[in-house]
Amino acid sequence: MDNPEESRGFVFSKESLRKKFRWSEFLSEKIITGVGFLSITIIILIFFFVFKESIPIFYTKKAAVKVESVQKQEQYGVDTNVAVNASGQEQYGVTARDSLMTENQPLAEDTVVHGSDVATAKSLLGTKWMPVSDNPRYGLIPLFVGTLKITLIAMLFAAPIAILAALFSASFAPYWLREFIKPAIELLAGFPSVVIGFFALMVMATFFQNLFGYDGRLNAFVGGVAMALAAIPIIFTITEDALTAVPRTYTEASLALGATRWQTALFVTLPAATPGIFAAILLGIGRVFGETMIALMATGNAAMIGINPFESVRTLAATIGAEMAEVVFGDTHYNVLFLIGSLLFIFNFSLNALAEFYVKGKLVKRFQGKQS
Amino acid sequence: MSRQKTITGGLFVGVTAFSAFLIIAVIIILLVVIINGGKDTFSWEFLTSFPEDGMMKGGIFPAIFGTVLLVLIMSVAAVPFGTITAIYLTEYAHEKSVLAQTIRFAVRTLATVPSIIFGLFGLGFFIKFVGTGIDDVFLGGQLKWGQPNILWASLTMALLTLPVVIVSVEEAIRTVPRELREASLALGATKWETIKRIVIPGSRSGIMTGTILAVSRGAGEVAPILFTGAAYYLATLPTSLSDQFMNLGYHIYIMATQSANVDQTLPIQFATTMVLLLLTFTLNLAAVIIRSRLRRNAK
C-alpha cells in the first residue's frame, strides 16, 4: 500500500492519460470553427452578389448610343431638377410634398424604353443622372460630387466637435462627468438614422432656413449637419479610446517637466494619438459616405453639380435607396444601381482596411518606441 | 507660469468643454423636440389601432407588430451565430493567428459596411438567388419566395446586426476569469463542457447586452429593408414568413417624404418617431447600464 493512487482504485498510466476521442468534442469544435468562418463568408458573398448584378453593364454588345453629344446644349443646375421631375417618377425631397406614393405605380411606359437603351462606360462618366426619361443617362459624376459635398460638410462639423469633446472627456473632465458624457454620446450612436433624418427634415431644415434665408428648404448643408450627428459618436468614441490608450508615462513625464494639464493634453496626448484620430475620421467618413436615410430625407435629392452648400444634392447611397424599389429587375438602371453599390462597398472596405492596418500598425509601433 | 498662458489654457479647456456639452445639448434638444411633437397624439389607442383614411388617421399597430416580428426573427438568426463566432474567437482561435485576425477584420468590416449595401445584398442574394432558386426547384417556378418578404428582410437585418452581437459577447467572455476555466478543466471537464457550463453562463449578461443592442439597431434601420420586404400599407398583419410587413422606421420615412399630405399627418409622424426613438433609446440605455455593471465587475 505504498502507492496512494492504487489504494483508491485507479492508476494513471500512459493509456489513461491519453486524450479520448469524444464525438461531442469533435463536433462542437468543428461546428464552432465552421461558424467562425461565417463573417468572412458573408463579406465575400456580399461583394460577389452585389458586383454580380452590376456586371451586365460591362459586356453589353449592342452599339453604344452616343447620348453625350446630343445633350451638350442643355443647362446644368436647376434645369436638371426640372427635367428629372418632368419624367414623372423622380419626386423626392423638395418636391415630395406634391408627389404621391410612387411605389405602386406601374412602370409599363418606362419598361419599353429601358429595354432598348444601352449604358456605355462613357455615359457612366457623364454629368447627368437621368435614369428615367426617354433617353436615359447614367452619369455618376453629379452623384459623386453630391456625396463628396455632403461628406465634406458633415466632417467639417463632426470632426472638430467630436475630437475636442473626446479631448475634454479624456483629459479634463472629472471622473463623474466623464462617466456621464461617454454613455450619453454612445446613446446618440443608437439613434436610428431615420429619426435623425426626420428631425433634420422637420426641424433643422426650417431652423436653418430662417437662420440663413435661402430658398430650398432641403439642401446639402442641412443634410451635412444631420449626417454630422450620425458621425460624431463614431469619431468621439474611437478618438476617446485612442486618447486614453496613450501611456500614462507620457503625460506624467510632461507634467513632471512642468507643463500644465492643457499643455500636456494639446502637445503630448493629442499628437501621440494622431493615428487613432485619423482612423476615427476615416470611419466617420465611411459612415457619412454610405448613409442612406438621412440623405434621402434631408438633402433634397436633385442631382446637381455645384459648390454652393445651400443647393440640393443627391448622394450615391440615396440614389440606390430611392430608385431600387422602382426599377425593373435586370435592366440597365438596375445594373447601374448595383454598380453604385459595388463602388460604395469597395470604397468603404478600403477605408476600413486603411484605418485597420496602416493606422493601427503605426499606433502600436509608436507606443513601443519605434518611431516610424 | 505667465498669466497669458493661464488664459490660453482656460480658453482651450473651455472650447473642449463647450464641444462636449454641445453634443449633449443636441441630444437633449432632439429628444425634447420629438417627444414634444408626438406626446399629444401618443396614446394606447395610437399604439393598438390600424391606420385609417389612407394613413391620415388612426394608429400604428401593424408597423409595431411588423417591427417586433422583424427583430424577433432577426435575433433568432443573429444571436446564436454571433455568440458561436465570439466563442470561436476567444476559446478556439489563437489570438495572433492569421485566421483569427482575418475573422476579426471581417467582423469589423461587416460593422462598417453601409446599411444600404445589405439591402442590395438581400435583394441580390436572398430574393433573387435563394428565393428564386427555391421557387424554381420546389414550387415549379411559382412565385412565392422570390419576392420581398419578412423572412428575407429579417435575415438581411441579421447580417447587419451580427457584428454587434459578436463584439458584445466577446467582451463579456473575456471577463470570465481564467481560473474558473482552469478549475473546470482540472476537474476533468472537456473543453466543450467547460464552454457549456462555465463560459456561456458566465457571459450571459454579455449575450443579453448584445441581443438588446442588436434588437435596437434592427428596429431602427430602414435602408436594408427598403427593398427586401417592407411595405407602405397593408390591411392585414403578416401571417407567414413569405408575407410583406410594415415597419416603424419605413413608416416614418414614407409618411414624411411621400405621403399625399405631409402637414396634415405631421402629428402622427412625430408620434411614430417618438415611439421608435423611445424604443431604441430605452433598449440602448438598458444595454449601457448592463455593460457598465459588467465592466465594474470585471475590474
Instruction: Pick B241 or A369 by higher pLDDT.
Output: B241
Strand-pairing partners, residue A137, are A130
Question: Does the distance separating the beta carbons of B20 and A173 come in below 8 Å?
Answer: yes
What was the pLDDT predicted at A66?
39
Distances (CA, A) of A168 to A182, A239, A295, B13: 11, 11, 30, 7
Span B256-296, pLDDT tens digits:
888 777 778 888 899 999 999 999 999 999 988 888 887 77
From A36, A192, A292, residue closest to B88, measured CB to CB: A36
Helices A205-212/A220-244 angle, 10° precision: 110
Is residue B149 within 8 Å of B229, Cβ to Cβ?
Answer: yes
Smallest CA–CA separation between A128 and chain B, in Å?
23
Residue A16 covered by a domain: no
Span A272-282, pLDDT tens digits:
898 889 999 99
Span B27-47, pLDDT tens digits:
999 999 999 998 888 888 888
Span B209-246, pLDDT tens digits:
999 999 999 999 999 999 898 888 888 888 888 899 99
Residue A86 covered by a domain: no
Burial letters A256-290, b for 16+ CB under 10 A, else e: eeebbebbbbbebbbebbebbbbbbbbbbbbbbbb
Is residue B267 within 8 Å of B37, Cβ to Cβ?
Answer: yes
Span A117-147, pLDDT tens digits:
454 556 777 777 877 777 777 888 889 999 9
- Reference B17, options A52, A168, A45; nearest CA is A168
What was the pLDDT predicted at A78?
39
Residue A225 covered by a domain: yes
Q: What is the mean pLDDT of residues A105-123?
A: 46
What was the pLDDT predicted at A85?
39
- pLDDT value at A205 more than 80: yes
How far is it, in rounded angstroms, from Cα A44 to Cα A34? 15
Span B86-145, pLDDT tens digits:
999 999 988 888 888 899 999 999 999 999 999 999 999 999 899 999 999 888 878 888
Smallest CA–CA separation between B75 and chain A, in Å?
16
CATH of B62-298 among 1.10.287.110, 3.30.43.10, 1.10.3720.10, 2.40.30.10: 1.10.3720.10
From A25, A102, A345, residue closest to B117, measured CB to CB: A345
pTM over 0.90: no
- Contact B270/A at CB under 8 A: yes
- pLDDT value at A73 more than 80: no
Question: ipTM score of the complex?
Answer: 0.92
From B85, B226, B270, residue closest to A39, measured CB to CB: B85
What was the pLDDT predicted at A222?
92
- Contact B159/A at CB under 8 A: yes
| Residue B150 pLDDT class (50, 70, 90 cuts) | very high
Phi and psi, residue A187, nearest 5°: -65, -35
Per-domain boundaries in chain B: 62-298
Angle made by CA atoms A305, A310, A315, in degrees to the nearest 5: 50
Single-letter amino acid, residue A23? W
- Contact B27/A at CB under 8 A: yes
Residue A157 covered by a domain: yes
Chain B: residue whose CA lies nearest to A284: B112
Local structure of A343: helix, strand or coil? helix
Residue owning grid cell 439642401: A219
Burial of B175 (0-12, 13-18, 19+ CB in 10 A): middle
Is residue B171 within 8 Å of B87, Cβ to Cβ?
Answer: no
Tell me the CATH number at A331. 1.10.3720.10
Strand-pairing partners, residue B230, are B245
**Which residue segment(s) compose the domain that A195 sits in?**
141-367
Number of domains in chain A: 1
Span A333-368, pLDDT tens digits:
888 899 999 999 999 999 999 888 877 677 667 666
Is residue A323 within 8 Å of A109, Cβ to Cβ?
Answer: no
* Radius of gyration for the alpha carbons in chain B, expressed in angstroms and rounded: 23
